């Protein structure tokens, strides 16, 4: 997933602030299985909006049908989670012994050429 942040868009900038606390967002499921995050309101402390990567219950999204800060923050959070998961499933890093062996082979290549 690619998420674009536009520094000229106040919603994008606000999303960056919201995503910093994404680990504390409650997760919600509707009866049909659809998943949402309860993202804090930026203008009303103590209030939450249900948002996913496409929709949000906030007034901004409902009135303008634009991607609000809550949607953008969820997209950023989902991208972070997916990236962390893919990094965990990659090939394990080389051991120090393997790195030393590779370095020795690399050094030997150059010493033989000289």
pLDDT given at position 92: 65
Q: Please report whether residue 96 resides in a domain.
A: yes
pLDDT of residue 87 exceeding 80: no
Q: Please report whether residue 1 resides in a domain.
A: no
pLDDT given at position 112: 60
CA distance 42 to 70: 9
Q: Please report whether residue 88 resides in a domain.
A: yes
Nearest in space to 21 (alpha carbons), one of 37, 34, 5, 35: 37
Start-to-end CA distance of the chain, whole Å, equals 48
pLDDT given at position 9: 92
Q: Stretch 87-103: mean pLDDT, rounded?
A: 74
What total of structural domains would you count in the chain? 1
Q: Please report whether residue 27 resides in a domain.
A: yes
pLDDT of residue 114 exceeding 60: no
pLDDT given at position 95: 77
Q: pLDDT digits over 6-62, tens only?
A: 899 999 999 999 999 999 999 998 889 889 999 999 889 999 999 999 999 999 999
pLDDT given at position 75: 96
Domain membership of residue 107 as a residue range: 10-113
Q: Please report whether residue 18 resides in a domain.
A: yes
Q: Please report whether residue 31 resides in a domain.
A: yes
Q: Please report whether residue 93 resides in a domain.
A: yes
pLDDT given at position 90: 63
CA distance 16 to 6: 11
Q: Please report whether residue 14 resides in a domain.
A: yes
């Amino acid at each position: 997933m690619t998420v674009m942040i536009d520094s000229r868009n106040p919603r994008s900038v606000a999303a960056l602030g919201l995503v910093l606390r994404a680990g504390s967002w409650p997760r919600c499921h509707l009866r049909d299985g659809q998943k949402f995050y309860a993202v804090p309101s930026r203008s009303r402390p103590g209030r939450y909006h249900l948002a996913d990567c496409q929709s949000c219950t906030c007034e901004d999204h409902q009135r303008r049908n634009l991607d609000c800060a809550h949607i953008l923050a969820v997209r950023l959070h989902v991208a972070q989670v997916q990236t962390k998961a893919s990094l965990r499933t990659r090939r394990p890093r080389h051991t120090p012994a393997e790195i030393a062996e590779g370095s020795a082979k690399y050094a030997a290549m150059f010493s033989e050429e000289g």
